[in-house]
Amino acid sequence: MFSLIRLVFLIATISILFPIKTIAKEDIKENNKRIVSLNSLGADIVSKLDNDSLVGIPGSSLLKKDDRFSDKVIVSEGRMPPSLEKIIKLKPSLVIGSEGFHDKILDKLVDLNIETLKTNTKSINQLEILIKDLANYLNKNPSSLNKNIKSCYFKTANYRGSAVILASTKPLLSPNSNSWAGKLLDRFNFVNISKDLESKTEFKGYVNLSPEIILKKKPSKIIVIEFPGMNQNSLLEDPTLNKILASNENEILTFNYYGLINPGSLKTINSACKKLSNI
């Protein structure tokens, strides 16, 4: 009996001197990866892989409509640059941004020893690599995300005619082969009349076209881009566009900015691929 009392006393003493630390839920969450994405595509991919790891997002209209992002901190709005203060406050383990667009703030974060990832998604292949890299970082399986862009894997050997994408009418801009939109046209066997033209604009992958070039090339498909908040009727009434349409017998198609020009999200990418495959 005496030995049992001594044993109980000894255990109690050890517990006081060396208390067992329990891991609270807050501590577990803090040990997870914390990711801030400055572009909507990165935010969407991370959210689908592990939504708890995503802590900061851009103020994109695509994300604001989705309940998955309702509890995320918005670090940028409109054309304003992302808030460095908000990003640092989130204590991120990784910050994702677009190459050429977020370079300045990503460089500042590197100086603060915060890991960054610059994305430059110009093809489905580069999209697959981005998904794989983020999945590896989060220790998740990337294969399930390919189902989100299943329409992009539909291919045909049939020639689908010539096409031009009018990303803007003032100035008249069209994507060449060094752009996401240009690569999608190639993928679905359209002959892009701007494919081999050299880009001399501030927008890499886009070339200035004159109405005369389009009238001369006579593409069978003219794809006009609708931007968020833009009225389609006012778009089709544009004088430059009317000049082109008046002298051509071609099919006029409207595509959303997200999916064809800016990848946006896996859902908008799939929608663009589906529409291209059905033309």
Q: 17 pLDDT exceeds 80?
A: no
The verdict on 128 and 69 lying in the same domain is yes
Return d(Cα 256, Cα 259) in angstroms, integer: 7
pLDDT of residue 232: 56
> How does pLDDT run across 204-218, given as a tens digit for each residue?
899 998 888 888 888
Residue 171 domain flag: yes
Residue 17 domain flag: no
Average pLDDT over residues 108-134: 96
pLDDT of residue 227: 86
Q: Among 141, 175, 201, identify where a domain stops.
A: 141
Q: 134 pLDDT exceeds 70?
A: yes
**CATH code for position 227:** 3.40.50.1980
Q: 135 pLDDT exceeds 50?
A: yes
Average pLDDT over residues 71-90: 93
Q: What confidence category does residue 84 fall into, taking pLDDT thresholds of 50, 70 and 90? A: very high
Q: Of 278, 97, 62, 269, nearest to 183 (Cα)?
A: 269
The verdict on 133 and 171 lying in the same domain is no
The verdict on 42 and 136 lying in the same domain is yes
The verdict on 48 and 122 lying in the same domain is yes
The verdict on 83 and 120 lying in the same domain is yes
Helix (H) or strand (E) holding 168: strand 168-169
Return d(Cα 196, Cα 102) in angstroms, integer: 28
Residue 148 domain flag: no
> What is the count of structural domains for the chain?
2
The verdict on 215 and 239 lying in the same domain is yes
> How does pLDDT run across 90-115, given as a tens digit for each residue?
999 999 999 989 999 999 999 999 99
The verdict on 44 and 134 lying in the same domain is yes
Return d(Cα 220, Cα 203) in angstroms, integer: 25
Residue 11 domain flag: no
Task: Write down the H helix ranges in 158-246.
Answer: 180-187, 211-217, 232-236, 239-246
Q: 33 pLDDT exceeds 70?
A: yes
> How does pLDDT run across 215-274, given as a tens digit for each residue?
888 899 999 998 876 665 555 666 767 777 666 667 889 999 999 999 999 999 999 999
Range of the structural domain that residue 271 is part of: 153-277
Q: Of 115, 58, 107, 100, nearest to 83 (Cα)?
A: 58
**Residue found by looking up tokens 């691929």 in the block:** 273
Q: Among 141, 167, 190, identify where a domain stops.
A: 141
Which pTM was predicted? Answer: 0.84
The verdict on 107 and 159 lying in the same domain is no
Return the structure tokens found at 224.
């006009």
Phi-psi region of 208 (alpha: psi -120 to 50; beta: other; left: phi over 0): beta
Q: Among 118, 141, 164, identify where a domain stops.
A: 141
